Copies of this chain bind each other. A is one copy, B any other.
Amino acid sequence: MMFAMSSSHAIEEGTTLTPRYDASGLVTAVVTDAANGELLMVAHMNAEALAKTVESGEAWYFSRSRQALWKKGETSGHVQRVVELRVDCDQDAVWLRVEQQGAGACHTGRRSCFYRRVPLGQSGAVTLEFAEARAFDPDAVYRKP
């Protein structure tokens, strides 16, 4: 007699991509620099963004603030070529290892969105430390002509 695999077993140990989208239809996308492991950004994908990324090998996301599909770099030219795409155990997050084209990934002008350090060993209010300088001028890159 055969028993079906439990749902969580199939999600964790299976070879079928079955993304577990949240209530807004999104999975979390973690984007690291394939060259050095630096975390560049965290974004979100709906099913269409994920399909376009898989098909094209370039990163597409879904903007929660604009409620719109977007290709990374469509305004800035800072396209992300996906070297490797992975999915996590419970299939609600994906990991993109990318070649970041252009000067950076962050709309503030830094290479990484994670340009501020949180000092450890403190309680109460924390003063952030800048760990990374601007790599490009966001006004020049994002302002349309």
Chain A interfacial positions (CB closer than 8 Å to B): 12-17, 28, 30, 32, 36-39, 41-42, 51, 54-55, 57, 82, 84-90, 93-95, 106-108, 110, 113-123, 125-131
Bound form: Cα–Cα A107–B67 in Å: 33
Q: How far is the CB of A18 from chain B (nearest CB, A)?
A: 10
Q: How many copies does the complex hold?
A: 2
Q: Of B41, B86, B110, B117, which is within 8 A of A131 by CB?
A: B86
Q: Of B106, B114, B120, which is within 8 A of A82 by CB?
A: B120
Q: Of B85, B108, B116, B128, which is within 8 A of A120 by CB?
A: B85
Bound form: Cα–Cα A63–B114 in Å: 23
